[in-house]
Chains A and B, each alone.
Chain A
């Protein structure tokens, strides 16, 4: 498609298009408030993932951007132009759905051609008999070329004559992508596009979509509940929990430096460990283990200290505990360690060589490096020094 590099044509690459700015977006369904005060600034050409558990409102947000659902409050603007009240087809966006949403009675080629036929042909020209008119035939062949080009990009040439029912899930998804690409929209909206695929194909399509994004240079807004998809593909990830935007950051930042305990818990497998802690004069006290770290917090303040499994070490001196479960993944070994004072077992990532020296019931001590601790108040807000 747009894979032509600017130098090859000897001209400046056109301004990237598709900056989406949302201000104060809210949505209520009757008395239930689904989205509250979402402000989100998506840069042109960015791959942004909206991440959240099911029911958090992320799909609703995408449908508001698409114009399929009117927002209760707030504004959506694309490239500085307000989209409020505009129908979906006048927003210059394309959408890919989880269920693919291909027209079952049309062939692959006809499916891909629909957006172009709707835009380039008038109502009368789309009538079945109009195909013989020279003007219609000319437009028709230009549509055919566009379909061929897109099909070539997504390796669909051999499938163009088939009906959707004759395609596999991955093929259907590629046809859905092709239908979105064919009219070169400013932004691609994707609603959990990989959820219906099996695990292996999902990983493959992840790479394919990321590559497509680099090729097209258009804005991708990708909704998912799968943090692996969010972490691997995106420039930035926007985490939405319970209808509110909790944090927007690059995947690495989101993982290392979360603003909110719920974000910290939602991102990362296995889950981040949360331990009760108290601020002391010398630093912080985690389950009786004093950790020297300048926190600037009032002495005696109760805290939640979170630490990633890979940042803990099995070495003394540290918090005493006992192994209750071992998860051996081959490359890694996760030890679940019961610790007095912690409500759930603490998970530690070890080298699989630790398999030889630990078994269920083994007592050990967990060392916590001072810089590994992320501190949150009791409401889950991040406390930064």
Chain B
């Protein structure tokens, strides 16, 4: 930080600009929550009030929860994101360790492949995977929702960058103490990489909790719907104008993420800072 001081009016301008940015970012969420509290006639009223004149929260939330099995969708979301994250860690940590710390023929090529994969959007390979899963008979299962994401090249890249910073001496010490390579991965590297794992976890959970594209393709069974599919289903099912319940459902769906973020905020910022430094 350089210690230049701005004049008072300049500082005011700076804060105004920041404030505008905040309002722009927050407005949709505020509207969402406010709308979820309003009764139907108020939502379509000509004049706009931010705060509801009459509280319609009970009926909106009741409808959101009963019109479709929203809690079931939330459970599906939790199962799918947790499974994806667990499998990703299971794959990423050893892969990143090998790429960062082991010397073997073809390591540079493999890491190059990881970097290339970072450039491929998953929408591009969604159809081939769909066809593959069709042949395997996996469509319309939890497996279909989870398996395509078990190998996260982003995660491998992130963990590798972190592992590069772990001193080689630590690994040699573990070898002398008699640990196997997998022992080193899980009892030395993984505990050292908790901040990176948490940071990656947030990226992963947010991405897959909110994912609409792949679940839309992969499952058709209502019992397997994830929360975003559920909201869409509610929208299509209702008259298409039931904004109150829709916003209530949306609020319910993002609430767990916001809560998780608030709880893990410090770790998250740590993780981002460190990736900024090392990456």
Contacts and interface: CB of A to CB of B under 8 A. Distances in A.
Instruction: Report which residue of B169, B170, B173, B188 has the largest number of chain A beta carbons within 10 angstroms of its beta carbon.
Output: B173
A119 B176 CA distance: 11
Given A99-B169, A101-B170, A105-B191, A93 B178 contact: no
Contact of B175 (A89, A100, A105): A89
Contacts, number: 57
Given A103-B188, A104-B192, A97 B169 contact: yes
A81 interface: no
Nearest to B191: A105
B176 A99 contact: no
Contact of A68 (B176, B179, B188): B176
Contacts of A74: none
Interface residues of B, number: 16
Contacts of B183: 118
Contact of A89 (B167, B176, B192): B176
Contacts of B177: 89, 114-115, 118, 179
Given A97-B169, A98-B169, A99-B167, A105 B192 contact: yes
Interface string A63-92: 100101000000000000000000111000
Given A115-B178, A118-B178, A118-B179, A101 B192 contact: no
Interface of B is mostly: helix
A95 B188 contact: no
Interface residues of A, number: 23
A20 interface: no
A181 interface: no
Nearest to B187: A103
A114 B170 CA distance: 13
A95 B172 CA distance: 9
Given A101-B170, A103-B188, A104-B192, A95 B178 contact: no
A119 B178 contact: yes
Name the residue in A88, A93, A100, A104 with the highest tally of chain B Cβ atoms < 10 Å from its Cβ.
Answer: A88
A87 B172 contact: no
Contacts of B194: 105
Contacts of A115: 176-178
Nearest to B173: A101
Contacts of A103: 170, 173-174, 188, 191
A88 B181 CA distance: 13
Contacts of B191: 103-105
A177 interface: no
Interface in A47-76: 63, 66, 68
Interface string B175-219: 111110001000010011010000000000000000000000000
A192 to B, nearest CB: 11
A105 B189 CA distance: 10
B172 A68 contact: yes
A101 B167 contact: yes
A348 interface: no
Interface in A142-156: none
A239 interface: no
A183 B40 CA distance: 75
Contacts of B174: 103, 114
Interface in A92-144: 93-95, 97-105, 114-115, 118-119
B93 to A, nearest CB: 14
B176 A93 contact: yes
A19 to B, nearest CB: 20
A256 to B, nearest CB: 36
B189 to A, nearest CB: 11
Contact of B173 (A63, A95, A105): A95
Contacts of A98: 169
A351 B234 CA distance: 97
Nearest to A104: B192
Contacts of B188: 103
A15 to B, nearest CB: 24
11 contacts: A63-B172, A68-B175, A88-B172, A88-B175, A95-B173, A97-B172, A101-B167, A101-B169, A115-B176, A115-B177, A179-B173
Question: What 6 pairs across the A-B complex have the smallest Cβ distances?
Answer: A89-B178, A118-B178, A101-B173, A101-B169, A105-B191, A97-B169
Given A66-B172, A114-B174, A118-B178, 17 more contacts: A66-B176, A68-B176, A88-B178, A89-B175, A89-B179, A95-B172, A95-B173, A97-B169, A97-B172, A99-B167, A100-B169, A103-B188, A105-B191, A115-B176, A115-B177, A115-B178, A118-B179
